[in-house]
């Protein structure tokens, strides 16, 4: 009987932490489609539409690693500014960043990402270019947090979270968001 109760408790704990979420916040009137690209070994995720001035909370599998970008609804799938994430990774942290490496000219797609409840620990910009996103593969801009629920803003508009250089938070090399965490990449700003 005690064994059965223990299994039930473990199963319910696993169900609670078996997924992550990203709430996509569309800051303007344009309808967008979010497209997902997955790292090898992780499940593909279907695209999702986010209507103008609407929010959509999207469930993402436990330990999922990949990225997303947005296009105007009905337009060809063309990568732009990327939201990159490695959920539930090394040290049970989620590593995340906004990357301009693929298309630094996308100023209306993904803007910022931050953990729910910790908006100061964000990656990305309201206005690009800025010093809080990846522009080169060797930039050190990846953030980390214990959270499993994140906010990602899209489109033109203004969000209140800003990142100050005075925040004592670790940042990591790009390998972290790709699930290749190496301790020598961590540094404090």
pLDDT at 8 over 90: no
Percent of the chain at pLDDT above 90? 69
* Most confident listed range (9-13, 65-69, 105-109): 65-69
Domains of the chain: 18-188 (2.60.110.10)
Tokens of 31: 């309808």
pLDDT class for 185, splitting at 50, 70, 90?
very low
pLDDT at 11 over 60: no
Mean pLDDT calculated for residue range 7-26: 67
Q: What pLDDT was estimated at residue 155?
A: 95
Mean pLDDT calculated for residue range 60-71: 97
Measure the CA–CA gap between 90 and 120, rounded to whole angstroms: 22
- Rg of the chain, C-alpha, whole Å: 17
pLDDT at 171 over 70: no
Q: What pLDDT was estimated at residue 132?
A: 93
Q: What number of other Cβ atoms are within 10 A of residue 188's Cβ?
A: 8
């Amino acid at each position: 009987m005690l064994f059965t109760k223990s299994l039930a408790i473990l199963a319910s704990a696993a169900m609670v932490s078996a997924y992550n979420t990203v709430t996509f916040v569309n800051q303007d009137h344009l309808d967008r489609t979010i497209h997902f690209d997955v790292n090898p070994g992780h499940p593909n995720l279907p695209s999702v539409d986010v209507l103008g001035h609407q929010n959509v909370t999207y469930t993402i599998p436990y330990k999922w690693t990949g990225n997303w970008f947005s296009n105007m609804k009905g337009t060809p799938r063309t990568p732009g500014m990327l939201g990159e994430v490695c959920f539930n990774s090394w040290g049970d942290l989620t590593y995340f960043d906004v990357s301009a490496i693929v298309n630094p000219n996308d100023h209306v797609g993904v803007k910022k990402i931050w953990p729910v409840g910790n908006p100061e620990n964000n990656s990305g910009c309201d206005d690009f270019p800025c010093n809080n996103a990846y522009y080169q593969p060797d930039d050190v801009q990846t953030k980390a947090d214990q959270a499993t629920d994140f906010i990602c803003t899209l489109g033109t508009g203004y969000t209140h979270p800003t990142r100050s250089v005075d925040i004592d938070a670790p940042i990591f090399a790009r390998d972290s968001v790709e699930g290749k965490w190496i301790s020598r990449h961590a540094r404090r700003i």
